[in-house]
Amino acid sequence: MIYETVKAFEAALPKFRALAGLDLGTKTIGVSVSDGMMSVATPLETVRRTKYTADAARLEEIFAARNICGIVLGLPFNMDGSEGPRCQSTRAFARNFARQSDLPITYWDERLSTVAAERALLEADTSRKRRAEVIDHVAAGYILQGLLDRIQFMRRG
């Protein structure tokens, strides 16, 4: 099921299970996972996209192996906050995935996640080649960490 608000998404989650964050691109899908306490996001891998069924099957493998209980997709709003074709593509992916999976799905504003990931990799003196290999799953980590921080804030307050 797709949840439009973090509050509704959080209410649907079991305790002490991990979440996955996805950064959907046209050629790759960056994947990150959280710990069971839902406090820290870790970049995991970049899936090279082929066709939807193969992409979804690989994601299902990852989610099963990591005992994932929910998914956050980065929603690539335009800088003015409007939704363009990339947002529509992300929402279509979520609808398709929700038809085959019972995992709760929500969205997180990813406007600056790739910029933040690039900056962190540059600060770590990562080579250009290595940055290209890891940027998508590092960006997925930023997306997931943003959601985790929001959930922790909501649970405290």
- CATH 2.40.30.10 at 6-152, yes or no: no
Q: pTM for this one? A: 0.87
Q: What is the pLDDT of residues 128-156, one digit of tens each?
A: 776 566 677 888 998 999 999 999 998 88
> How far is the CA of 72 from the CAs of 129, 132, 138, in angstroms?
27, 22, 14
The rounded Cα 100 to chain-centroid distance in angstroms is 18
Cβ proximity of 72 and 108 under 8 Å:
yes
Question: Hey, where are the domains in the chain?
Answer: 6-152
Is residue 1 classed as helix, strand or coil in its secondary structure?
Answer: coil
Task: Band the pLDDT of 14: cuts 50, 70, 90.
Answer: very high
Separation of alpha carbons 37 and 15, rounded Å: 8
* 97-138 pLDDT, tens digit each: 999 999 999 999 987 666 666 777 667 777 777 656 667 788
